[in-house]
């Protein structure tokens, strides 16, 4: 029986993917490397160390990770100010889950600074969630299951009683490996790429009824 819902953030609650991609491209440009948006696709949902480090590795460009992340977040904050929007149905789904008495956790591979910028821009207080787990709280990022196992534990629940809401292939893989059921929203990847999920929807305005009733 479903007892909790574990929400990814980027591409699920907020339309931030294009903004962090632009910020990363601008950061790389500043250090003399021209990269493309498609370079980041394999690393979507895996946390900024992988997101930036994977692209740097592709081009053989060593980077100082903490410095690169700090600059990327600085640019992201500037780009996102007044521009980020909650994705359709995201706030309604959170309200619906709470109304059903389900416990909810935010489980994002992003670092806390990026999470705070994103939630602030869509006027979603962190206190809305019973717990929050960020990429800084786990050693192994998605597609490893660690973040969803930890999120379930933080709610006092077994993963088997939790629904993961994700938009990325790596996130669905992580959720299934943790033992959760998974709802995929096709914000970032096509339905054909998200077939590992238990349910797939085009937006959170169209969540299948049985995804929250099992």
> What DSSP line would sit under 146-160, residue for residue?
HHHHHHHHHTT--GG
Cβ atoms of 10 and 110 within 8 Å: the answer is yes
| pLDDT band, very low/low/confident/very high, at 88 (cuts 50, 70, 90) | very high
% the chain with pLDDT above 70: 100
**What is the CATH classification number for the domain harbouring 51?**
1.10.150
Model pLDDT, residue 48: 86
Model pLDDT, residue 45: 78
Same domain, 92 and 136: yes
Q: Which of 10, 15, 167, 198 is catalytic?
A: 10
Asked if 96 is an active-site residue, the reply is: no
Same domain, 97 and 69: no
Domain boundary among 58, 80, 102: 80
Cβ atoms of 152 and 178 within 8 Å: the answer is yes
Q: What mean pLDDT do residues 34-44 have?
A: 94
Residue range(s) defining the domain that contains residue 23: 17-80
Same domain, 132 and 43: no
pTM of the model: 0.88
Asked if 146 is an active-site residue, the reply is: no
Same domain, 66 and 90: no
| pLDDT above 90 for 17 | no
Model pLDDT, residue 95: 97
The secondary structure of residue 176, as a DSSP letter, is H
The 10s digit of each residue's pLDDT in 173-204 is 999 999 999 999 999 999 999 999 999 999 99
């Amino acid at each position: 029986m479903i007892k909790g819902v574990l929400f990814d953030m980027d591409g699920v609650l907020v339309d931030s993917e294009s903004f962090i991609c632009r910020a990363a491209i601008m950061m790389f440009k500043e250090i003399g490397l021209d990269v493309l948006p498609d370079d980041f696709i394999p690393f979507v949902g895996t946390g900024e160390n992988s997101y930036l480090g994977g692209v740097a590795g592709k081009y053989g460009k060593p980077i100082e990770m903490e410095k690169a992340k700090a600059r990327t977040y600085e640019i992201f904050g500037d780009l996102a100010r007044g521009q980020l929007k909650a994705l359709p149905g995201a706030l309604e789904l959170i309200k619906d889950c709470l109304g059903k008495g389900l416990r909810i956790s935010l489980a994002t591979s992003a670092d806390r600074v990026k999470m705070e910028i994103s939630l602030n821009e869509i006027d979603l207080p962190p206190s809305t969630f019973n717990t929050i787990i960020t990429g800084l709280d786990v050693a192994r990022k998605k597609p490893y299951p660690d973040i969803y196992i930890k999120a379930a534990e933080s709610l006092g629940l077994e993963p088997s009683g939790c629904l993961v809401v994700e938009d990325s292939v790596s996130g669905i893989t992580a959720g299934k490996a943790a033992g959760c059921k998974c709802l995929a929203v096709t914000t970032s990847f096509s339905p054909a790429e998200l077939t590992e999920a238990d349910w797939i929807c085009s937006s959170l305005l169209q969540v299948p009824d049985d995804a929250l009733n099992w």
